[in-house]
Amino acid sequence: MAKTKEEFGASSSLDDELSCSICLSTYRNPVSLCCGHSFCRQCIQKVLSAQRQDKAPYSFQHPQDGRVSGGAE
């Protein structure tokens, strides 16, 4: 049986909710930050590692909105 528009929309929305905004794939070993955003563990570790090399320790730039906070962990 064919899906209705509403069913496609719900599926697409669910895919968006379960997708890492760094790699754009479905979460693999997901983790959530204190702000509530979620990422694949490996993706966020790579981003944080790259930021630590470029910035002072304990400075964290959020991968989605660019905000900087005082603590990365």
Map residue 10 onto helix, strand or coil: helix
Task: Give the burial string for 46-68 (b: 16+ CB within 10 Å, else e).
Answer: ebbeebeeeeeeeebeebeeeee
pLDDT at 71 over 50: no
**What are the domain boundaries of the chain?**
15-58
Rounded Cα–Cα distance for residues 28 and 69 (Å): 25
Just give the CATH number of 15-58: 3.30.40.10
Model pLDDT, residue 51: 80
Q: Give pLDDT tens digits for 18-49.
A: 999 999 999 999 999 999 999 999 999 999 88
d(CA 71, CA 27): 24
pLDDT given for residue 70 in this prediction: 53
For residue 39, the model assigns a pLDDT of 94
pLDDT at 9 over 70: no
Q: What 8-state DSSP symbol labels residue 66?
A: -
